[in-house]
Amino acid sequence: MTVFEEMAENGVIWQNGEFIDWADATTHVLTHGLHYGTGIFEGVRAYDTERGTAIFRWEEHLDRFYQSAKPYDMEIGHSREELTEATLGTLRRNDLESAYIRPIAYYGYHSLGVSPGDCPTDVVVAAWPWGAYLGEEALENGIKVKVSSWRKHASSQVPTNAKTTGLYVNSLLAGEEARRNGFAEAIVLNKEGNVAEGPGENVFLVRDGEIFTPGLSESILDGITRNTVIALAEERGYEVHDDVSISRGELNTADELFFSGSAAEVTPIRQVDNVTIGNGSRGPVTEELQGAFFDLVERRTDEHDDWFTYV
């Protein structure tokens, strides 16, 4: 049975203000967002911590949720408090100790001009169990990635800092191309040809004991895990360069590379195309930061307790 089949048995989803049965959480085929990708969403994790289930950086995800809606003139129509209660209720009613949480808002069913006109904004919060995005083995041994032949859409073409449903066709193309060629994931270059990010991850590079990650002007999503990793690294005394351009060639000569993301967490990269990175396994800096990340999210430390919303 798939996770969704299991959730469909007793699970609930919050839709437009009420909890409904998982199986009833459907939408009309003429929904605006289905045709034009006019939705914005979040991907958030709740961890089974030493102090009970806790949502990691919920407030920052909520911030980005409302920010993402702005360029599309989308009224979310539910307050932060309502969405927080919706999410806590979803976790509790589904008895989830740890979960991947998916809030989404999209233009709904009313008319199908590209202009959303009077289309309502439908808002949904769902949650379900989801293990390591790229697999447990990937967290330990690292993954092989392929530099995509598809470029990332430029921030002059679409707001790349908004987490918009339609933009993920680029992620699908890059990721599937990589997997068809025997790689676990892609790295996507921006229009200028510099490193942007993964299909659903930000990229970090370690060189001579310092840490580099593409700046926000490189057409990337302002990742919340990226921000977390930067904080954890700085707290451990690392010099972090988070406002740089990284050329494709610098990937090959890096001592270490890793991905960050709410789904992917901190995943080492051991190979880019045909080039082995460092010694071809999880490097020491990656291991330290990954350890710090999991100690943090599973609450084996008291640090940053304000980043957690306990269920």
Counting every residue, how long is the chain? Answer: 311
What's the farthest any 2 CA atoms get from each other in the chain? 57
CB of 304 to ligand PMP, least distance (A): 15
Q: Which residues bind ligand PMP (CB under 6 A)?
A: 43, 197, 200-202, 221, 223-226, 260-262
- Return d(Cα 193, Cα 151) in angstroms, integer: 8
CB of 226 to ligand PMP, least distance (A): 6
Quick one: 15 or 160, whose CB is closer to ligand PMP? Answer: 160
> What would the two tokens of residue 216 be?
């926000």
- Return d(Cα 42, Cα 44) in angstroms, integer: 6
Quick one: 31 or 225, whose CB is closer to ligand PMP? Answer: 225
Q: Are 165 and 106 in contact (CB under 8 A)?
A: yes
- Sorted by sequence, the CB contacts under 8 Å of residue 156 that are 6+ apart come out as none
CB of 202 to ligand PMP, least distance (A): 5
Count of beta carbons in the 10 Å neighbourhood of residue 249: 8
Alpha carbon distances (Å) from 214 to 107, 211, 244: 32, 11, 5
Out of 144, 146, 163, 191, the active site residue is 163
Quick one: 142 or 175, whose CB is closer to ligand PMP? Answer: 175
CB of 47 to ligand PMP, least distance (A): 14
Is 163 designated active site? yes
Q: Which long-range contacts (CB under 8 A, 24 or more apart) does 5-10 make?
A: 7/94, 7/128, 10/94
Q: Which residues are catalytic?
A: 163
